[in-house]
């Protein structure tokens, strides 16, 4: 199974992704037990003359997003001669597997950790890593607090949510809307989950309720900051960011209110699961989501997902690895994007139903951008 995850020298990342996904069957992997030390040493730490050792710890290995990030980072590690190890949580919100991974990496004496934390519960272990002299950076989303790591390489998830929220608002054009909010988790407060959800609500012109936590937006009112049509939030349910979770949540939402005409999903796997439930019910609401995977472009082309905010997980992992490598070997520091507390790797809206006021890229052009820019 692990051999399928090794880098194939001349194959593009998006093609290798399909091979890896098929080999592990996506849903059946106990990712917390993975430890891939795939690359022989080449570059060395000038202070100790030993190989540069860096650990990559991701949210899970269920979502193809994380598979892609791992493969891109592993390919860059091979180029640099970095000894890269890999671990992941079993699912979104699984902090215990990540804590074990951090503890193991401290014991192994890695020089750097790249992490997409599943929640603040891992912070104590990250502080122990720092005390042990290990430099930690994060990917995909800024952790809470932000200074628990040296730097984050991520999309502005609030902006991504705002873009698809604005898209939905303009598509509705003042018509009444009944909304299904398909979030990530409820057991942990994840920054990315909140940022995307609140960004969507802000783009729609709906109050978020309470900062830093989902579920407190007013259940009804007028969107577009009171200038648009009426809205009702029919349901708000977790999906664990997975197709099955998205399908189950959408089925529950439709049972509560069959008149849903707008669906927000935290990521594309959950949106794709929601689409299955909608098709079975012969419903065709506006569906918006976030990720920008190559595989999702078929849904954009078919019109079953109307818009997605595309991110670049390959770029996040590669930049994080390069920065850690330079820090270890050259003593360089970390620089955020001007005006931000993190390094912004960008976002693009992909849609085959363009709307004035929201720049978007059609699926035909997105094929050259998806995930790897």
Tens digit of pLDDT for each residue in 150-165?
Answer: 999 998 999 999 999 9
Q: Give the per-residue pLDDT at 13.
A: 35
- The total domain count for the chain is 2
pLDDT at 16 over 90: no
Asked if the structure places residue 371 within a domain, the reply is no
Mean pLDDT, residues 337-343 taken together: 94
What does the mean pLDDT of the chain come to? 87
- For residue 237, the cross-strand partners are 182
CATH, residue 72: 3.40.50.2300
Q: Give the per-residue pLDDT at 44.
A: 57
Name the residue range of residue 137's domain.
2-154+313-335
* pTM reported for the whole predicted model: 0.78
Q: Give the per-residue pLDDT at 63.
A: 82
pLDDT at 21 over 70: no
pLDDT at 103 over 90: yes
Q: Give the per-residue pLDDT at 50.
A: 75
| Of 345, 341, 340, 339, the residue nearest 320 (C-alpha) | 345
Q: Give the per-residue pLDDT at 31.
A: 38
pLDDT at 12 over 90: no
Is residue 162 domain-shared with residue 146, that is, in the same domain? no
pLDDT band, very low/low/confident/very high, at 3 (cuts 50, 70, 90): very low
The share of the chain scoring above pLDDT 90, in percent, equals: 78
Is residue 320 domain-shared with residue 331, that is, in the same domain? yes
Asked if the structure places residue 136 within a domain, the reply is yes
pLDDT at 258 over 80: yes
Asked if the structure places residue 340 within a domain, the reply is no
Q: Give the per-residue pLDDT at 48.
A: 57
| Of 204, 209, 163, the residue nearest 310 (C-alpha) | 163
Rounded Cα distance, 176 and 284, in Å: 15
Q: Give the per-residue pLDDT at 209.
A: 96
Is residue 16 domain-shared with residue 100, that is, in the same domain? yes
Is residue 106 domain-shared with residue 196, that is, in the same domain? no
Is residue 23 domain-shared with residue 86, that is, in the same domain? yes
Is residue 227 domain-shared with residue 242, that is, in the same domain? yes
Mean pLDDT, residues 207-216 taken together: 95
Is residue 188 domain-shared with residue 281, that is, in the same domain? yes
Encode pLDDT of 112-143 as tens digits. Answer: 999 999 989 999 999 999 999 999 999 998 89
Is residue 135 domain-shared with residue 16, that is, in the same domain? yes
Asked if the structure places residue 373 within a domain, the reply is no
- For residue 290, the cross-strand partners are 309
Residues 110 and 133 sit within 8 Å (Cβ to Cβ): no
Encode pLDDT of 31-89 as tens digits. Answer: 333 444 443 344 555 545 678 999 999 998 988 889 999 999 999 999 999 999 999 99
Q: Give the per-residue pLDDT at 372.
A: 73
Is residue 277 domain-shared with residue 328, that is, in the same domain? no
Residue 256: CB atoms within 10 A of its CB come to 13
Is residue 210 domain-shared with residue 326, that is, in the same domain? no
């Amino acid at each position: 199974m692990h051999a399928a995850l090794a880098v194939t020298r001349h194959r593009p990342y998006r093609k290798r992704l399909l091979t890896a996904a098929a080999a592990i069957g996506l849903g059946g992997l106990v990712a917390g037990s993975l430890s891939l030390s795939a690359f022989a040493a080449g570059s060395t730490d000038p202070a100790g003359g030993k190989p540069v050792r860096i650990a990559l710890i991701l949210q899970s290995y269920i979502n193809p997003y994380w598979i892609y990030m791992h493969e891109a980072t592993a390919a860059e590690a091979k180029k640099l001669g970095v000894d890269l190890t890999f671990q992941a949580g079993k699912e979104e919100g699984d902090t215990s597997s990540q804590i074990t991974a951090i503890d193991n990496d401290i014991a192994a004496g890695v020089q750097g950790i790249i992490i997409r934390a599943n929640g603040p519960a891992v912070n104590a272990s990250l502080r122990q890593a720092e005390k042990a002299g290990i430099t930690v950076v994060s990917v995909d989303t800024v952790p809470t607090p932000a200074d628990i790591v040296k730097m984050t390489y991520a999309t502005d998830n609030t902006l991504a949510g705002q873009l698809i929220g604005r898209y939905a608002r303009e598509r509705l054009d003042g018509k009444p809307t009944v909304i299904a909010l398909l979030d990530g988790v409820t057991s942990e407060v994840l920054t990315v989950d909140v940022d995307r959800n609140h960004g969507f609500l802000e783009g729609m012109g709906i109050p978020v309720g309470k900062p830093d936590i989902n579920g407190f937006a007013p259940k009804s009112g007028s969107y577009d900051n009171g200038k648009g049509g009426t809205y009702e939030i029919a349901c708000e349910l977790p999906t664990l960011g997975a197709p099955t979770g998205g399908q189950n949540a959408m089925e529950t939402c439709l049972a509560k209110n069959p008149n849903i005409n707008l669906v927000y999903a935290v990521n594309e796997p959950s949106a794709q699961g929601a689409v299955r439930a909608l098709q079975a019910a012969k419903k065709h609401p506006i569906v918006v989501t976030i990720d920008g995977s190559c595989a999702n472009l078929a849904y954009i082309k078919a019109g079953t997902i109307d818009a997605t905010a595309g991110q670049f997980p390959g770029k996040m992992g590669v930049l994080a690895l390069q920065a850690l490598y330079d820090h270890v070997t050259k003593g360089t520091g970390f620089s955020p994007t001007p005006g931000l507390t993190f390094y912004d790797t960008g976002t693009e809206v992909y849609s085959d139903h363009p709307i004035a006021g929201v720049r978007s890229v059609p699926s035909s052009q997105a094929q050259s951008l998806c995930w790897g820019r």
